[in-house]
C-alpha cells in the first residue's frame, strides 16, 4: 500500500480525509503539527506528504523548507482558498502542487494520484528507457536522475516531470497547457502560475548555456523551450 503522510492541525478534516483515502487504498499516517510532520517525513517511509500551511509548533512553509534540505519526496500543500502568496511561496520552496481549503477528499485523492503517477511508474512503462542528452543536460527517466555538466541536480518530482517534457521536445516550444497536462497531470487552470514558478526553479537549479543564457527560454504567449546548446 502507498503510504501517505497527512500533516494538518484540523483534526476533524484530517479524520475525514484519512477515512476516504484509506478506502482508496492508501495507508495513512496523520500528525497535527509541523514538528511531528517533519520528523515523520524525514523517516523515509512515505511516498508523499500532504502539508497544511497554518500549523502549531512549526508552520507549514518552514516545515517544507527544512524538509527540502534533506529530501525531495513529493509534497502537496493545503492552502487557504484564494491565498496566492502562500501558493507561490510553497511552490518556490519546492512543493509539487497545492490544493485550496476547504477541499473535498475526492479532489485531494486525484491530486495525490497525479503526483505519484510518474514517480511510481515502473521502468518498463517509462517512455524510453535510454538516457536523454541535450547539451550539458543528461536525464535518466526510468531512474528519475538528472545531471548538468556532469554534476547531479536534485529536482522535485514535478520539476523532473516538466523538465522531461521539455527534454523530449528540445528545440521546440511546449505550451503551458501541455506542460500542465503532462507534468502536473491536470489541465491548466485560469490564472494558474504553477508551471511558471516551477520553470523559475528549474532555471535556478540548472546551469547556463555557453553564451550565459538560461537553457530554458520563455516564448511569449506560447510556452517554454529547452534550448539545444
In CATH, what number does 125-226 get?
1.10.10.10
Q: What is the largest CA-CA distance in the chain?
A: 55
For the chain, give every domain's residue range. 2-119, 125-226
Cα–Cα dist 2/57, whole Å = 27
Does the pLDDT of residue 126 top 50, yes or no?
no
- The pTM score is 0.83
Cα–Cα dist 224/182, whole Å = 14
Cell output for 180: 500542465
Class of domain 2-119: alpha beta
Q: Give one DSSP letter per residue of 12-33, joined into a string.
A: HHHHHHHHHHHHTTEEEEEESS
Model pLDDT for residues 42-76, shown as the tens digit of each residue: 999 999 999 999 998 899 999 999 999 999 999 99
Does the pLDDT of residue 186 top 60, yes or no?
yes
Does the pLDDT of residue 77 top 80, yes or no?
yes
Amino acid at each position: 500500500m502507498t503510504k501517505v503522510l497527512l500533516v494538518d492541525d484540523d483534526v476533524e478534516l484530517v479524520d475525514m480525509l484519512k477515512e476516504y483515502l484509506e478506502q482508496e487504498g492508501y495507508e495513512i499516517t496523520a500528525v497535527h503539527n509541523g514538528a511531528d510532520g517533519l520528523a515523520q517525513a524525514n523517516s523515509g517511509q512515505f511516498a508523499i506528504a500532504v502539508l497544511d500551511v497554518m500549523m502549531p509548533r512549526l508552520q507549514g512553509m518552514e516545515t517544507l523548507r527544512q524538509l527540502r534540505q534533506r529530501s525531495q519526496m513529493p509534497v502537496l500543500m493545503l492552502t487557504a482558498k484564494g491565498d496566492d502568496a502562500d501558493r507561490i511561496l510553497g511552490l518556490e520552496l519546492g512543493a509539487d502542487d497545492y490544493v485550496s481549503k476547504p477541499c473535498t477528499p475526492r479532489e485531494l485523492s486525484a491530486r495525490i494520484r497525479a503526483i505519484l503517477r510518474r514517480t511510481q511508474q515502473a521502468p518498463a512503462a517509462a517512455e524510453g528507457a535510454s538516457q536523454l542528452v541535450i547539451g550539458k543536460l543528461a536525464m535518466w527517466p526510468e531512474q528519475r536522475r538528472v545531471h548538468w555538466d556532469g554534476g547531479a541536480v536534485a529536482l522535485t518530482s514535478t520539476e523532473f516531470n516538466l523538465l522531461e517534457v521539455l527534454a523530449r521536445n528540445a528545440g521546440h516550444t511546449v505550451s503551458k497547457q501541455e506542460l500542465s497536462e503532462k507534468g502536473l497531470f491536470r489541465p491548466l487552470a485560469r490564472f494558474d502560475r504553477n508551471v511558471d514558478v516551477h520553470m523559475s526553479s528549474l532555471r535556478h537549479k540548472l546551469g547556463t548555456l555557453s553564451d550565459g543564457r538560461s537553457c530554458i527560454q520563455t516564448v511569449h504567449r506560447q510556452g517554454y523551450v529547452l534550448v539545444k546548446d
